[in-house]
Amino acid sequence: MSDFVELRHYAAIVLKRWWVLVLVLIFTLAIGFGVTRQQEPVYKATASILVGQSLQTTNISTQDFRTSEELAQTYAALAQRQPVLEGTVEALGLDTRWQRLRGAVSAKLVPNTQLVEITVEADSPEEAAVIADEVANQLILMSPTALQNQEFAETITFVEQRMASLQTKIEEGQTRLEELEATDVSQLSATETAALQQEINALTGLITEWERNFTQLLAFLDSNQSSNYLAIVEAAQPSLNPVRPNVQLNTAVAAAIGLALGLGLIFVLEHMDDTIKSSDDLGKMIGLNPLGAIREVNTEGYDNALITTRDRFSPQSEAYRMIRSNIQFMSVDEPSKSYLVTSAVRGEGKSFVTANLGVVMAQAGHSTIIVDTDLRSPVQHEIFHLQNPKGLTDLLREPELSASNFLESTQVPGLRVLTSGALPPNPSELIGSQRMKQVMAELAEIADVVIYDSPPAVIVADAAILSERVDGAVFVINVGKTRREVIQQAIYNLRQAEANLFGAVLNRVSKKTHSYYYHGYYYKRGTTEAEQAEMSWLQRWAKQLPFVK
């Protein structure tokens, strides 16, 4: 199971940066195609030579075959040596040196035979064939073959003539002997019969002598068959198609290289990326407990920010309820009444998290107040569609006023909002004032839960000031956006103020990553068609089971 989860983790890394893989793959394929187009076509031709005369010999021994095979290995090695290549260059008048020709010539022994294949690569098929044939011819010239042919040519011609004469005599003698043996001796006298028998005996002796001489001459020819003899058995046949460049092979190699480089680059970028991407990173990088993960939501302004009121059975709503439960578990003995929600920098969605946490707290039956203490860029009044003529700043300036007079009701029963009011020139001084302590104490008396929407912890000191006055702090992190060193600086600022950090909320988690956190959660029966459309195939299948409620 752990291997499967690890595999899904790697797959998620690749899918997150799939465009890197595609770009690298396109780049390598373009380079491979360009290099292939620039290469000159190369053609190949192969000539075959036979070492020894085993094919012409009626009686061949194992030793003769082994000797010819060993000689073939020698000739295969000799084909790439200077004498043969230099002779080839001179014979064909090639405009190159024999050293360069060596790279185009190769020779190998056909296993378990006496055949040597000489292969040549050249710019044209005709040139490859001519060079291959000439290399084979140079090997023949270096072997004893030519000398043998010259020395024994006359002798072999004489022997062959004598053998032909003997064959004629034997055939004529056999014919005459058959005629004599067919003679009717009953018609002959005793003297004629004796003369006939004497002629038959003489002719039989001559035929026997002629046959013995013929056999001796045949053995003489066989004895002159040498193992160190070369002959071309197959002239070079040029290939019509070039052997290089191989477009298909080059494309496959380029694709493989691009795939390897792309995957390598993806994992290098992943390693260099020091942003928080999962709950595992929270503990490893910054030492915070994961309170929950919220899936990325497409919002237009602040209209769809309150997902917990619009779709109570969505994965996002369930995520907020899980965060609510985890926060409550942090203080079982003495329940927390007040806490702030902050982040390292702007744009991480901490105000959205604050608003939706307030909603799920109220939905759980807790009297809840959201206080917008971001006196530089307040948004809670926009999220809840409230007016903001007066708010926290007015309450801080007028000590005689009660906080309850400034609380705005919302569409969620049990949830009220204390908006920011007019933006002051000295927000940090107001947040850190004694009057702010009084307001916070009064709000704690009015409601069960008070949630403070705080400014980012790195930019200003407001979050650090507030953190020491509340029961705990929730840190919001935009997944894959804010760098670790920035988050660590924000955490350091809060801990310097002795803040009680409940943990971190991962915000805007991608849909694929979100499934890792909530793969065991299924929608309740009676969900709408829109909700069912968001279900995974596993959730839709599980929902049909009778025991899944």
> Per residue in 437-495, pLDDT tens?
999 999 999 999 999 999 999 888 889 999 999 999 999 999 888 888 898 899 999 99
pLDDT at 511: 67
Q: Where are the beta strands (DSSP E) in 281-332?
A: 290-295
SS3 286: helix
Q: Where is pLDDT greater, at 113 or 515? A: 113
Q: Which two tokens stand for residue 239?
A: 């290939």
pLDDT at 354: 94
Residue-wise pLDDT tens digits, 42-75: 888 999 888 876 544 545 556 655 777 777 788 8
Q: Assess whether pLDDT exceeds 60 at residue 246.
A: yes
What band does 280 get if pLDDT is binned at 50, 70 and 90? confident
Whether the per-residue pLDDT at 430 is higher than 80: the answer is: yes
The tens digit of pLDDT for each residue in 321-348 reads 999 999 888 776 677 889 999 999 988 8
**What mean pLDDT is predicted for residues 154-174?**
79
Nearest to 52 by CA among 289, 237, 226: 226
What integer pLDDT is reported at residue 61 of this predicted model?
55
Average pLDDT value for residue range 425-433: 90
What is the rounded CA–CA span in Å between residue 215 and residue 152?
19
Q: Report the DSSP pairing between strands 230-238 and 105-109.
A: unpaired
* pLDDT of amino acid 536: 43
- 524-537 as b/e: b if 16+ CB within 10 A: eeebeeebeeebee
pLDDT at 437: 92
Q: Distance of alpha carbon 385 from its chain centroid, rounded? A: 51
Confidence band (pLDDT; 50, 70, 90) for 412? very high
Average pLDDT of the residues in 192-202: 83
Distances (CA, A) of 38 to 247, 252, 497, 508: 12, 17, 67, 49
What is the structure's pLDDT at 369?
95
Q: Among residues 435, 426, 501, which one has the least CA distance to residue 461? A: 426
Per-residue pLDDT of 262-278, as tens digits, reads 888 888 877 777 777 77
Question: Beta strand pairing status for 230-238 and 43-51?
Answer: antiparallel
Number of H helices, E strands in the chain: 22, 12
CA distance 452 to 351: 9
For residue 7, is pLDDT > 60?
A: yes
CA distances 397 to 401, 418, 429, Å, are 9, 15, 11
Cis peptide before 245 (omega within 30 of 0): yes
| Residue 404, Cβ density class (10 Å: 0-12 exposed, 13-18 middle, ≥19 buried) | middle
Give the model's pLDDT for residue 333: 66
Q: Give yes or no for residue 535 having a pLDDT over 50.
A: no
Instruction: Grade residue 3 by pLDDT with cuts at 50, 70 and 90.
Output: low
Instruction: Please state which of the ranges 30-34, 174-178, 298-302, 370-374 shows the lowest mean pLDDT.
Output: 298-302
Order of strands across the sheet that contains 338-343: 290-295, 501-509, 472-478, 338-343, 449-453, 368-372, 415-418, 408-409
Residue % of the chain over a pLDDT of 90: 23
What is the DSSP annotation of 429-481?
A: HHHTSHHHHHHHHHHHHH-SEEEEEPPPTTT-SHHHHHHTTSSEEEEEEETTT
What one-letter code names the amino acid at 245?
Answer: P
User: For the whole model, what pTM was predicted?
Assistant: 0.56
Nearest alpha carbon to residue 375 among 251, 297, 463, 310: 463
Residue 307 reports pLDDT greater than 60: yes
At 301, give phi and psi (nearest 5°). Answer: 65, -130
- Which of 17-31, 366-380, 500-514 holds the top average pLDDT? 366-380
At 4 the pLDDT is 62
Residue 333 DSSP one-character state: S
Percentage of the chain exceeding pLDDT 70: 83
Q: What is the rounded CA–CA span in Å between residue 348 and residue 474?
A: 13
- Confidence at residue 329, expressed as pLDDT on a 0 to 100 scale: 84
Query: Residue 512's pLDDT is what?
Result: 56
